[in-house]
Chain A
Amino acid sequence: MRTVIYTNFDLCTGCAICQMSCSEYKTGGTNPRLALLKVVPNADGLIHQPVTCQQCQNAFCMKVCPAEAIYRNEENGAVIINEEKCHGCGLCVKACQKDVVLLDKPAKKARKCDLCAGEPVCVKSCPTGALEIAKLGGAKDE
């Protein structure tokens, strides 16, 4: 089993409260750009697509990490960066095809969604329910 944050684009208003809350909780400063999830408007402004870490089963970020700093929390399936081991090379940032692993340049550390120890602040703060916690099954061959 793994836990992910499921996104309902049709309910997203683009208010960025999820991102502002995430950055506030994780960094102490508010700025959607520092958040560990994205909200991407489509070109004509008709919708916003929230993009969250899928805690991939075949996690590219984990695969490419030369420091073996990325591991899986077996309880909820979250893919987690061990800050002590991470030396900020940025390979995981490049590897993430959803663009939700960030490099904290001043700290020289990679950052990604860790589901806030089971209670993601983005989900809690979303005013419309555009973000939901979903429990998924494992891979077919598990």
Chain B
Amino acid sequence: MSKGYMGKFLTINLSTSETKEIDVPQWLQEEYVGGKGYAMKLLYDLLPQGADPLGPDNPLMFFPGPLTGTLAPSMRACVATKSPLTGLLLDSYFGGHFGPEIKYAGYDGIIITGSSIKPVYLWIDDNNVEIKSAEHLWGTGTLESNRAIKKELQDDSIKVSTIGPAGENKVRFALISCEYNRQAGRGGAGAVMGSKNLKAVAIRGTHGVEVENREEFLKAVQQGYQELKDSPDVQALVDTGTASAVPFANEVGLLPRRNYQDGTFDKADNISDLGQNKDYWLRSEACAGCPVRCSKVGYIRTGRYAGTISDIVEFESAGLLGSNLEIGDAKAVTYLSALCDNLGVDTISAGSVVGFALEAAEKDIIDKEKLPAGADFGNAKAIAELLKNIVTRNGAVADILADGVKMAAEKIGQDSDDFAVHVKGLEVPAWGPRGNPGIALALMTADRGGCHQRGLPLGYELAGEPWNGKVLDRLALEGKAEIMVHEQNHLTALDTFVKCDFGNFGISLSNYLKLFSSCTGRELTEEELYNLGAKIWNMGRLFNLREGLDPAEDKLPKRFMNESLPSGPCKGHHFTDDDVKLMLKEYYQLRGWGIDGRPTEETITKYNLHQENTFSID
């Protein structure tokens, strides 16, 4: 076993209450490295083909990476499972302190299978594992249950991940709240946890994570700190987190408004860092081992929402719960965001689902009477009620909405799919994409559905950052696929370590490789790293295809095809079938996929994806 790794997985079968430790196979570590690599391979190997995401056969897995829990700056961990929202792969990343604690307890991953008959939580105290009753915790919010478990186990230093009522009620966009108030937000991992009757996982670990070459490693750590300091993008996050992206997105016409109908919002500044700083911020908060401190914490001092304690309302939450719902008051958006965190739903999907419902009511597709009184864009009070109804599946309409916009549109019919803004079932984040072909391609090709975190060419497309020495034309279609493949491979590879997207704004690739080699003793070249990324990306594609993905679903929501952007610098823009075809053709070609969107035999061989080695728990 190399340093940086703990060498073991912990497996828990909630149907049989059996727990055991498994040595991480050498081939797995060599070929898939950790984090996202383990996630994709183990999903492929452990999930019985076609298994119901909310059934006992769907594994719920937590993976830190080899650099997680070390002094390497800004590292995270991931949750992996089959998404109940998309029926496809889901890897959702979280910062905070829960990921490192998995390593400190002695594990490179936790694999949970089966489902419990009664509500339980896991108590992992190094290698002592207990399945404890959570009946008294059922129904509590994410943060309330976090605190209750620490009290029960009489140790405030325990790290806990929990679900809220949303996960318990199998709301398909429920999240897992990781120590402390850091969310594995997207894709519904919380619903999978709820389907297992698993309220929480509590961990206390006493092992230290060692590195191979201490002197070189500490040098690379110092260099990482310096790179973060030297990066203006990172320093903006130090000062104002991602909230300062709100005015930027508004300026370039990407900020969703009224269920993504428009791309600008006149009250954008109110809900940005400017409004938030005035209304509640008090200090900065950081994840384990991260000097960036992009989160801001405080409480609302006065007014209807006085006393609400919240972390920063980061860009996506401000976009989807703020401008997308036409709420231009930072206090109200903060309240809604904190409500989502505590009920345990993804703010992106929640904002999108509410926007969809409000538009459907406006168009008389759903009965207004069945929504809370006054439910309309801009009415935060009614929207809060609607969110609570959705999370508890209270009433027929809320019950339908709790399954996300794709399934809701299928059930409601009446052409509501025209304004159900999702890709492959995952609601779309707060970035455009009309007027930004690169972003459109990112959303169409992201492995887990409508996601911005698998490669977002914002800098190249909007900020004049040159690509291969050339400044790009924002609206050009050609050449965007090349950037996308590069970005996806780059980020996927670094998600084996497991990096944070924001750390990646500052830390150089060469320094990530130094951190990795001095930690584990294994040298990787840049080329090997990109190949690793490509291999894992293809692994994910093979999983999705096996689970029934139709490549024709690599497409944009109808709204971005059929309706022109009403305002902003790209006013009038929308995508055509030809635009999409052209970009996808280039993309598939560069990926080594056929025109049918499937990896060719040559590609499968190139990346050694014939599944000669198979991981099994038994």
Contact = CB atoms under 8 A, between A and B. Distances in A.
A13 B205 contact: no
Interface residues of A, number: 29
A93 to B, nearest CB: 15
Interface in B189-218: 204-210, 214, 218
Contact of A128 (B214, B293, B297): B293
A29 B208 contact: yes
Given A31-B208, A128-B293, A13 B286 contact: yes
A40 interface: yes
B113 interface: no
Contacts of A128: 284, 293
Contacts of B71: 17, 20-21, 24, 30
A137 B143 CA distance: 43
B128 interface: no
A44 B207 CA distance: 28
Contact of A46 (B156, B209, B284, B299): B299
B156 A33 contact: no
Contacts of A28: 208, 210, 214
Given A13-B285, A45-B297, A46-B282, A34 B206 contact: yes
A115 interface: no
Contacts of B214: 28
A45 B297 CA distance: 8
Nearest to B180: A45
B291 A127 contact: yes
B287 interface: yes
Contacts of B468: none
A23 B157 CA distance: 16
A45 B96 CA distance: 12
B97 interface: yes
Interface in A11-47: 11, 13-17, 20-21, 23-24, 27-34, 38, 40-41, 43-47
B301 to A, nearest CB: 13
Interface residues of B, number: 38
A13 B297 CA distance: 10
Given A15-B287, A15-B291, A21-B71, A33 B309 contact: no
B205 A20 contact: no
Contact of A31 (B209, B287, B309): B209
A46 B205 CA distance: 25
A13 B288 CA distance: 10
A40 to B, nearest CB: 7
B281 to A, nearest CB: 12
B309 A23 contact: no
A31 B205 contact: yes
A44 B208 CA distance: 28
Interface string B255-298: 00000000000000000000000000011111111110100011
Contacts of B210: 28-30
B540 interface: no
A31 B288 contact: no
B70 interface: yes
A63 to B, nearest CB: 27
A15 B104 contact: no
B104 A33 contact: yes
B205 A16 contact: no
A127 B293 CA distance: 10
Contacts of B181: 45
A83 interface: no
Contacts of A29: 207-210
B69 interface: yes
A31 B297 contact: no
A128 B286 CA distance: 11
B283 A47 contact: yes
B286 A15 contact: yes
B209 A14 contact: no
A11 B311 CA distance: 16
Given A15-B287, A20-B289, A30 B180 contact: no
Contacts of B180: 41, 45
B299 A27 contact: no
B147 interface: yes
B575 interface: no
B297 A17 contact: no
A41 B205 CA distance: 18
A14 B206 contact: no
B500 to A, nearest CB: 12
B485 to A, nearest CB: 34
Contact of A127 (B104, B207, B208, B225): B225
A10 interface: yes
Contact of A15 (B69, B157, B290): B290
Given A16-B288, A31-B205, 13 more contacts: A10-B283, A13-B285, A15-B286, A15-B287, A15-B289, A16-B97, A21-B71, A30-B210, A31-B69, A31-B104, A31-B209, A33-B104, A43-B147
22 contacts: A13-B286, A15-B286, A15-B287, A15-B290, A17-B290, A27-B208, A28-B208, A28-B210, A29-B207, A30-B70, A30-B209, A31-B104, A31-B205, A31-B206, A32-B288, A33-B104, A33-B204, A33-B205, A40-B156, A45-B181, A46-B298, A46-B299
The 4 closest A-B pairs by CB, nearest first: A29-B208, A15-B286, A127-B291, A13-B286
